[in-house]
Amino acid sequence: MHGAAVAATMTAVEFISDKMAHHHQTNPNCGDATTLQSHHVAAAPCPWGDTTNNGNAAAVPMDKRLEGKVCIVTGGAQGIGEAIARMFVRHGARVVIADIDDAAGEALAASLGCVFEHCDVSVEADVERTVQRAVARHGRLDVYCNNAGVLGRQTRAAKRIASMDAAEFERVLRVNALGAALGMKHAARAMVARGGGGGGGSILSVASVAGVMGGMGPHAYTASKHALVGLTKNVACELGEHGIRVNCISPFGVATPMLVNAWRQQEEEEKSSAPLEEEKKSSSESVEKMEEVVRGLATLKGVTLRASDIAEAALFLASDESRYVSGHNLVVDGGVTTSTNLIGL
């Protein structure tokens, strides 16, 4: 440490010691200097919660970081979307779950005490209606989370550009790219309309590591996620003047029903050439196998990436803690897209 820094530190320590001694003299009931120090530390709890619990701040109560905010989560009935919806509700948000799976969406909304709206994000009328109803019900919109997405078919033919199915390619882009664009459009209208100098709001999208580098997903899916990352940056440029932040999250592999079913589809084709339907629910055994595969590919060892980790990232980008973060792609991949150990480090 440089001399000037040492001097400044010592001056600060002496100042605090003098103040504590004065407090002790005028408040004898506070006890000795050790008790006094503990008294003052306890009086100023860490805003992140008690981090002494083996570093697990999430295990103890924390302030509600989205208290009173109105949030829409598309694709919120299961997987990452469900985890985000649960996280937002836990932190005090008034959440609207938007999905095409009415049964799962309504059941989840009922369990969380929030609202469900049927919404196909590739249909503009659905997106517009969902936003309008949220504003009519709650008076405003603070957070819009573009989470709905599809992976597309995982057959060998679907992964080869020479045998690409144009209709399948278009379907994936309509949901993943156009769907996100429509969400941004109608969320921006609602947020800008608030005006009054307050304005503001957060639009966040769930992209993918497939939008960061090649070789991480099928062609259509990769193209759609690159489009989403680019769209995020461009829309952030436009909406910044209204105080609206636009960001995205790019996860590595999370064992959601969508990813597990895609993996099953590939395995089934290799075994019997009889692909499984995308809607088939994942069992705990399949989830464990998928997580094992992802752990084997991961750069960061000793951690299993789960939907709750993406929900934590979404919470940060939705909350005021990220008030000066916009146009950012928050990559949650344990270093996979930035670090490739080719020389055996």
Alpha-carbon dihedral 203, 208, 214, 219, rounded to 10 degrees: -90
CA–CA distance, 265 with 156 (Å, rounded to integer): 10
Residue type, 137: R
| Sheet of 70-74, strand order | 115-118, 94-99, 70-74, 143-146, 201-206, 244-251, 329-332
| Catalytically annotated residue among 221, 235, 286, 333 | 221
Q: Is 221 a catalytic residue?
A: yes
Enumerate residues 6+ apart whose C-beta is below 8 A from 150: 171, 172, 175, 176, 221, 258, 278
CA 130 to chain centre: 20
C-beta of residue 204 within 8 angstroms of C-beta of residue 247: yes
Residue 314, classified by CB atoms within 10 Å of its CB into exposed (0-12), middle (13-18) or buried (19+), is buried
Q: How far apart are CA 82 and CA 106, in angstroms?
A: 12
Report the run of H or E that residue 74 belongs to, with start and end: strand 70-74
The residue length of the chain stands at: 345
Catalytic positions: 221
